[in-house]
């Protein structure tokens, strides 16, 4: 067997591999979309460990910023308590999904916050941070600043180019980072390191931004306090994205453990979603240049995940906890499906119908059934002991040749993060193994009493399945461990076991048992999205009791200037008058509203729309292009409780 050194390569120096996921916003609970990136990172980390690398796998939660603060306020909770609860949910989810991260960082960790202060102070010392006044558009949901030429203009509204939600105009004293200073250095780095950002089309998007020029970036806020204060000017809190990006170095010792930091930095792979590519591929590298640190080896920006063709959204009922899918189909099946059916790097759709098809076809038929047939015959004809291979014949050499071709392709594809293609290639080999088994006809060999040849065929067939279990170990760890148990392989699996044919030891027990995967009856199964979404959206009577619905008579109504959607209403609630702003101008004329008795949510926290305070919300029903206000049947006094 080929000698493999402790850290992974066949000879050579010690190798490390530092992989990160984005840190996830805690403004809402995790769902299958947020789990996708972490599962992919886990697969890559497991593969690198299998190859012998010393791996550090980082994930965590992003807990500062205006969006998180607003979510905490809406939940009626202290922001730290709110963050503590949601961070714990992410931790628990990763544990249940068997994610093998080495550290879980939170941006409210004291060590991280101190590192952020020191990092920004060093940027300032190097002349890259200055004070000024920011005037521009800001998207609270994306926590992103936009220039006038970047926002989307839709009628009188300005929308975020990323999420298409309204942005607000901000004018306040800020500190700025001289991002423009690093434009040429970044272009040079992209030229010298063509694989710095992948896939290629994401790299080209970043190059287009760089070639168009960079503007300095506002990096502090003074309008709220939920964040890391500037070291020498605590009235300013550091912009949430600057805070968040620094997690990649704070987690591994920057500023507090030099030996640890030097061991792991630079990161080998920042794994992110495409919507945050600009922050990771332009802003973060410029920040690192500012403090004199080497840049990460690679940023990989994968596509978005939808569910059954729809964007993941709580309101659509498809922002489902991935544990529901795991409970129904199994953790390995979900992991396999996410990588095999969704081409890694591109946008993809999570379809339960296709998941079930992959389970029934790829896993149960192609993989599991092959193992089942082999172990059944070994159990029947060799008393459950693995037979010894004898003289090689043509089909045996062909199978081995196909394996070594597959193995080499597997390395190349996994090393270049072409994960979907790697699984495609493995399944081609599974097809080869099935062909070998069927073409050699072991049942005929058994009938004819050709025991020696039968033993060779069954040995090679089981060795082929064993090799599949090794290659799929990063994707389906539980399944691979079950295969190892059935073939009595009790070593620590690593790359050496892929380098030669004939690792399984003749004479060892082979355990025939239940099929590896259970098929789903496609005629009777009910989708998780259909069953769980209903359960997740059910509320208790106590939940409903929190909503104060009242009748209200419209006294005045007028269009909001410079808006094509908004109408400002003055309504009578019996004991008081209220001002409500509603987006119904496309469906009702102001004069047609006066005198109507409508239903309003009376205990909704006030909000501002186009700078006008709205003290409640009216109820309306919409179907297609039709919208109708909810009114009452007959006369009733304003302020009557709806129950």
What is the rounded distance in angstroms from the CA atom of residue 134 to the CA atom of residue 117?
21
CA dihedral 189, 190, 191, 195 (to 10 degrees): 120
Cross-strand partners of 220: 238
Pairing, β 607-609 against β 597-601: unpaired
User: How many other C-beta atoms are found inside a 10 Å radius of the C-beta of residue 68?
Assistant: 26
Contact by Cβ (8 Å): 566, 583: yes
What is the rounded distance in angstroms from the CA atom of residue 158 to the CA atom of residue 151?
6
- Per DSSP, the three-state class of 381 is helix
What is the rounded distance in angstroms from the CA atom of residue 361 to the CA atom of residue 396?
26
> Maximum distance among all alpha carbons in the chain?
97
What is the rounded distance in angstroms from the CA atom of residue 122 to the CA atom of residue 474?
40
- Report phi then psi at 337, rounded to 5: -60, -45
- Per DSSP, the three-state class of 357 is helix
What is the rounded distance in angstroms from the CA atom of residue 571 to the CA atom of residue 615?
10
Contact by Cβ (8 Å): 17, 268: yes
* List of residues 6+ apart from 434 with CB closer than 8 A: 366, 370
Angle at 33 between CA 28 and CA 34, to 5 degrees: 55
Contact by Cβ (8 Å): 168, 95: no
Place of tokens 């995940």: 305
Contact by Cβ (8 Å): 5, 12: yes
Q: Please state whether the peptide bond connecting residue 266 to the residue before it is cis, i.e. omega within 30 degrees of 0.
A: yes
Contact by Cβ (8 Å): 42, 330: no
* Dihedral sign from CA coordinates of 325, 330, 333, 336: positive
Indicate the helix (H) or strand (E) that contains 91.
Answer: helix 79-96
Q: Is 83 annotated as a binding residue?
A: no
* List of residues 6+ apart from 472 with CB closer than 8 A: 336, 423, 426, 479, 480
- Report phi then psi at 509, rounded to 5: -70, 140
User: How many other C-beta atoms are found inside a 10 Å radius of the C-beta of residue 436?
Assistant: 20
Nearest Cα residue to 339 out of 417, 274, 411: 417
Angle at 167 between CA 163 and CA 170, to 5 degrees: 145
Q: Is 142 annotated as a binding residue?
A: yes
Nearest Cα residue to 357 out of 342, 370, 341, 346: 341
What is the rounded distance in angstroms from the CA atom of residue 556 to the CA atom of residue 595?
8
Annotated binding site for Zn(2+): 139, 142, 160, 163
Annotated binding site: 139, 142, 160, 163
């Amino acid at each position: 067997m080929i000698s493999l050194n402790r850290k992974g390569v066949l000879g050579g120096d010690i190798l490390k591999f530092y992989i990160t996921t984005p840190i996830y916003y805690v403004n809402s609970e995790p769902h299958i979309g947020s789990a996708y990136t972490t599962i992919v990172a886990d697969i890559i980390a497991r593969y690198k460990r299998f190859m012998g690398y010393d791996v550090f796998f980082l994930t965590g939660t992003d807990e500062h910023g205006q969006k998180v603060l607003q979510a905490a306020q809406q939940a009626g909770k202290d922001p730290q308590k709110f963050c503590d609860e949601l961070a714990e949910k992410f931790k628990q989810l990763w544990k249940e999904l068997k994610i093998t991260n080495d550290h879980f960082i939170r941006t409210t960790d004291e060590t991280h916050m101190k590192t952020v202060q020191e990092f920004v102070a060093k940027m300032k010392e190097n002349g890259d941070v200055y004070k000024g006044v920011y005037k521009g558009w800001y998207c609270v949901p994306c926590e992103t600043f936009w220039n006038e030429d970047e926002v989307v203009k839709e009628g009188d509204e300005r929308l975020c180019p990323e999420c298409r939600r309204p942005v607000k105009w901000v004018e306040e004293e800020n500190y700025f980072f001289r991002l423009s200073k690093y434009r040429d250095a970044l272009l040079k780095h992209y030229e010298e390191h063509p694989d710095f950002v992948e896939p290629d089309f994401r790299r080209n998007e970043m190059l287009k931004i760089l070639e168009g020029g960079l503007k300095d970036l506002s990096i502090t806020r003074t309008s709220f306090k939920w964040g890391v204060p500037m070291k020498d000017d605590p009235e300013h809190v550091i912009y949430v994205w600057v805070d968040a990006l620094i997690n990649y170095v704070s987690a591994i010792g920057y500023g507090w453990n030099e030996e640890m930091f030097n061991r792991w930095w630079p990161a080998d792979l920042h794994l992110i979603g495409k919507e945050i590519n600009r922050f990771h591929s332009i802003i973060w590298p410029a920040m690192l240049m500012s403090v004199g640190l080497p840049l990460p080896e690679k940023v990989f920006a994968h596509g978005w995940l939808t569910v059954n063709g729809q964007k993941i959204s709580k309101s659509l009922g498809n922002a489902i906890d991935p544990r529901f899918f795991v409970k129904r189909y199994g953790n390995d099946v979900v992991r396999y499906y996410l990588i095999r059916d969704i081409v890694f790097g591109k946008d993809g759709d999570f379809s339960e119908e296709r998941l079930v098809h992959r389970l029934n076809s790829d896993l149960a038929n192609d993989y599991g059934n092959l193992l089942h047939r082999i172990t059944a015959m070994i159990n029947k004809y060799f008393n459950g002991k693995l037979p010894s291979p004898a003289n090689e014949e043509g089909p045996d050499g062909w199978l081995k040749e196909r394996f070594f071709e597959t193995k080499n392709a597997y390395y190349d594809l996994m090393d270049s993060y072409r994960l979907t293609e790697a699984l495609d290639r493995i399944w081609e080999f599974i097809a080869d193994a099935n062909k070998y088994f069927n073409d050699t006809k072991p049942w005929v060999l058994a009938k004819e009493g050709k025991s020696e040849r039968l033993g060779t065929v069954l040995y090679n067939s089981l060795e082929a399945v064993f090799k599949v279990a090794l290659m799929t170990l990063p994707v389906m760890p539980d399944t691979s461990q079950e295969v190892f148990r059935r073939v009595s392989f009790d070593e620590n699996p690593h790359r050496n076991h892929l380098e030669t044919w004939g690792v399984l030891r003749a004479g060892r027990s082979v355990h025939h048992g239940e099929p590896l995967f259970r098929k789903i009856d496609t005629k009777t199964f009910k989708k998780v999205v259909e069953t769980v979404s209903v359960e997740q959206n059910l509320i208790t009577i106590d939940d409903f009791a929190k909503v104060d619905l009242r009748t209200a008579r419209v006294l005045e109504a007028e269009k909001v200037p410079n808006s094509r959607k908004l109408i400002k209403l003055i309504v009578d609630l019996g004991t008081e008058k209220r001002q409500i702003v509603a987006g119904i101008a496309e469906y009702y004329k102001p004069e047609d509203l006066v005198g109507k008795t409508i239903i309003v949510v009376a205990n909704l926290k006030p909000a501002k729309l186009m700078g006008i305070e709205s003290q409640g919300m009216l109820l309306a029903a919409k179907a297609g292009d039709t919208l109708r206000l909810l009114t009452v049947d007959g006369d009733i006094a304003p302020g009557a409780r709806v129950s």
